[in-house]
A and B are shown apart, each in its own frame.
Chain A
Amino acid sequence: MTDALLQVSDLTITVPAGEYGADRRPVVSGVNLQIGAGEALGLVGESGSGKSMTARAVMRLFAPGVQATGTVVFDGCEVFAMEDEQLRLLRAHRIAMIFQDPRAHINPVRTVGAFLIEGLCASGVSTRDAERRVTSLLAEVGISDGSRRMAQLPHELSGGLLQRVMIASAVAMDPDLLLADEPTTALDVTTQSEVMAILAQLRTERGLALLFITHDLELAAATCDSTAVMYAGSIVERQSSRQLLTHPYHPYSSGLMVSRPDLDAVRQRLPVIEGQPIAAFEAGEGCAFAPRCGYSQPACLATTPALVAVQGGEVACHRASELQGQLPTAMEGGGDV
């Protein structure tokens, strides 16, 4: 047993499909990941890769009909086996979550202040103390006129401000782990930079661990200690962010990096990953990425590669050792200038 803060093992999630939900479709299959106290892990994937479902599983936030197997162990406790009260306390005090669209997660007819103090008041803090604490939290996330903002309604705040409010509310109960599901995707780049800087500061000051979900590999790599890449419901690669950028092991990670346009180089043609991303239940025999992979061989279509340890990380690719050091990276520009 490791002493990680969060240990997800062999997580598989299925959703009902077909008439009356008779069939079940996997959306996450066999995911393992761990986060140590105060550590930040980036989880990168395209639509349908299962990254959001994985994050929700950590808090056991499932829509009706969704089934999960495997284990999620948080600070020594098995989340899937928790009683209701224990789960409520976990969600209230230990793990917090922020989302892509803050507007969908805040009551539009109550003031920002009422939203922010709710959790504190419910745990026995007086309204006046709660307001004082929230005002200083707002200052921490860069909102200096906190008392004015608290009297406002959500629609009076911009998306960037509202995301700061969500972050303040998420850290109000001083959690150990923050799950951030694409928190900056809907924001402008300059606001994204600020929000990421705020998260980095909160991590250092509070020792907060972070699971950062994004479709942007470069953003994850620039802001997290390590980065895991998901494809079709499984993790295909995980290693330290710095090394991922220079030495990707999986052709998919490399493809994601080089297919992004570059701020400095103009390419005649962007190197593309052919085809389109698939969900776990659409994957055929063998490696799920093989049909889109420029390096696939007959063996890739026959058996599913397991996630195995390599130097500095893990990768699920039959050809990882042969391809090591040969996959193009964003650093090299990946093409003609």
Chain B
Amino acid sequence: MSEPLLKVDDLRKVFPGRRGHDDVVAVDGVSFELAPGESLAIVGESGSGKTTIARMLVGLERPTSGSIAMGGAILDVSSRRAKDRRARARRLQMVFQDPYSSLDRLQTVEQILSDALSLDPDAVRESRAEQVRILLTSVGLHERHSRMRPGGLSGGQRQRVAIARALAVKPDVVVLDEAVAALDVSIQAQVLNLLKEIRETTGTAYLFISHDLAVVNQVSDRCVVMRQGRVVEQGTTAEVLHHPQDSYTQQLRDAVPRPGWSPTRSAEAPR
């Protein structure tokens, strides 16, 4: 295996409990690696800590302990210095679940993408419009969309804009946090195909966070299964999904509706 692009080591995040309550350990000693061009999925249900990991990677949360290294160098994700933040943003981008709240509704698509493009110090200002056009085409949108604001776009189109914005700086890694979960079934398939195509042409690595095992099976090479802040199992997606070693992974798999499936009640008391 080549040198990992991203190495997360013993990552831990504790949120202080509100008055009278215990502290919440959201992420508890999580380690994984991401190779260049690889697609790694983090699977888990609500409260598993998967989103907290994503937020720590892009600097939206400060880890309690542990380290995140990119390309061998320890990334100071807690740094609030503009220089450090820009350096991180050039290498690591994020696409959020809800394209309704992750785009500035007052900006046009062109402004949204231009702002992202301006992170690249080598970018030439003059060709900005051309770069925007190329970006839009790469996510299956048309030049005419550049003058529109998010309010005029459908959910699927907005998510394409969010993906284009993430790709603008040609990052090494894109973190996709439930990026297709809010989309209609027919749109979800289009965006999944687009993501696959982008990875094949650009070699961008994905950290794909999802609760949906079928989606994970389609998009990832390897996956990490999380439960209550801990990794319960990791391996190649085919191994983990088809021959789960952990009973929780099996439980997740059994709960996915498919032809011939019937719902079951577990013996455990609901929490």
A residues touching B (Cβ–Cβ < 8 Å)?
Answer: 46-47, 142-145, 158-161, 164, 188-198, 200-201, 215-219, 221-223, 245, 255-256, 259-264, 266-267, 269-274, 276-277, 292, 330-331
When the two chains form their complex, are residues A272 and B189 in contact, meaning their CB atoms are under 8 A apart? yes
Q: A190-B252, A264-B242 are in contact. Are A46 and B213 (CB under 8 A)?
A: no
**B154 contacts across to A, CB distance below 8 A:** 276
Compute how far the CA of A261 lies from the CA of B260 in the bound complex, rounded to whole angstroms: 17
Q: Which of B157, B189, B269 contacts A271 (CB 8 A)?
A: B189
Total of A-B residue pairs, C-beta within 8 Å: 143
B186 within 8 A of A: yes
Q: Which of A144, A159, A193, A271 contacts B263 (CB 8 A)?
A: A193
Contact, CB under 8 Å: A261 / B214: yes
Listed by A's residue number, 6 A-B pairs whose Cβ atoms lie within 8 Å are: A158-B270, A164-B270, A189-B45, A190-B266, A221-B259, A270-B193
Task: Point out the residue from A143, A189, A255, A267 that lies within 8 Å of B186, measured CB to CB.
Answer: A255
* B257 contacts partner chain A, Cβ-Cβ < 8 Å: yes
B256 within 8 A of A: yes
Query: Cβ of A273 and Cβ of B189 under 8 Å apart?
Result: yes
Docked-complex contact A262 and B214, CB < 8 angstroms: yes
Q: Which residues of the partner chain B approach A46 to less than 8 Å between Cβ atoms?
A: 184-186
Nearest B residue to A144 via CB reads B269
Which of chain A's residues has its CB closest to B46's CB? A188
Question: Do A261 and B217 touch across chains, with their CB atoms under 8 A apart?
Answer: yes
Contact, CB under 8 Å: A222 / B192 = no
A190 with B255: CB separation less than 8 A: yes
CB distance from A199 to the nearest CB of B (A): 8
Q: Which chain A positions have C-beta within 8 A of B212?
A: 189, 261
Return the chain B residue nearest A216 by Cβ.
Answer: B257
| Given A142-B265, A261-B192, A266-B218: 7 more A-B contacts, CB < 8 Å | A164-B270, A218-B259, A223-B257, A269-B193, A272-B189, A272-B190, A292-B186
Give 9 nearest A-B pairs by CB, closest first. A196-B263, A259-B189, A261-B218, A188-B45, A197-B263, A273-B186, A189-B255, A46-B184, A193-B255
Contact A270 B218 (CB under 8 A): yes
Chain B: minimal CB distance from A1 (Å): 34
Known A189-B256, A193-B264; judge A263-B270 contact (CB<8 A): no
Q: B-side interface residues toward A, CB under 8 Å? A: 45-46, 154-157, 184-190, 192-193, 196, 211-215, 217-219, 241-242, 251-266, 269-271
Q: Are B214 and A161 in contact (CB under 8 A)?
A: no
Bound complex: CA A159 to CA B154 (Å)? 28
| A217 and B260 alpha carbons, distance in the complex (Å) | 13
Residues of B within 8 A of A215 (CB): 184-185
Q: Which residues of A contact B190 (CB under 8 A)?
A: 272, 274
Q: Please give, as numbers and ranges, the residues of chain B lying within 8 Å of A256 by CB-CB distance.
A: 185-186
A160 touches B251 (CB 8 A): no
Q: What distance in Å separates the Cβ of A213 from its nearest Cβ neighbour in chain B?
A: 14
In the complex, how many angstroms separate the beta carbon of A267 from the nearest chain B beta carbon? 7
- CB closest chain-A residue, reference B192: A270
Report the separation of the CA atoms of residues A271 and B269 in the bound assembly, to the nearest whole angstrom: 40
Q: What's the least CB distance linking B254 to chain A, in Å?
A: 8
How distant is B259 from chain A, measured CB to nearest CB, in Å? Answer: 5
By the criterion CB–CB under 8 Å, are B211 and A188 in contact?
yes
How distant is the Cα of A274 from the Cα of B190 in the complex, in angstroms? 8
Which residues of the other chain, A, contact B218 by a CB distance below 8 angstroms? Answer: 261-262, 266-267, 270
Closest to A214 in B: B257
Tell me the smallest distance from the CB of A85 to a CB of chain B, in Å.
38
Chain B positions within 8 Å of A164 at CB level:
270
A272 with B193: CB separation less than 8 A: yes
**Are B263 and A263 neighbours in the complex by a CB distance under 8 Å?**
no
- Are B266 and A194 touching (Cβ within 8 A)? yes
Contacts of B251 in A (CB 8 A): 190
Alpha-carbon gap, A245 to B155, bound state (A): 28
Q: Within the assembled complex, what's the spacing in Å between the Cα atoms of A263 and B107? A: 39
Minimum distance in angstroms from A190 CB to a CB of chain B: 5
Q: How far is the CB of B79 from chain A (nearest CB, A)?
A: 34
CB B47 to nearest CB in A, in angstroms, measures 8
Residue of A nearest to B213 (CB): A263
- In the assembled complex, the Cα of A273 lies from the Cα of B184 at a distance in Å of 11
- The answer to whether A263 and B259 have CB atoms under 8 Å apart is no
Measured between beta carbons, the chain A residues less than 8 angstroms from B262 are 197, 200, 222-223
- Judge whether A143 and B270 touch: CB under 8 Å: yes
Within 8 Å CB of B213, what residues of A?
Answer: 189, 263
Query: Considering the chains assembled together, what is the distance between the CA atoms of A208 and B117 in angstroms?
Result: 57
- CB atoms of B215 and A261 under 8 A apart: yes
Instruction: Check A192 against B255 for contact (C-beta < 8 Å).
Output: yes
Q: Quick one: given A198-B265, A259-B188, A272-B193, are A219 and B242 in contact (CB under 8 Å)?
A: no
From A194, A272, A273, B265 is in contact (CB under 8 Å) with A194
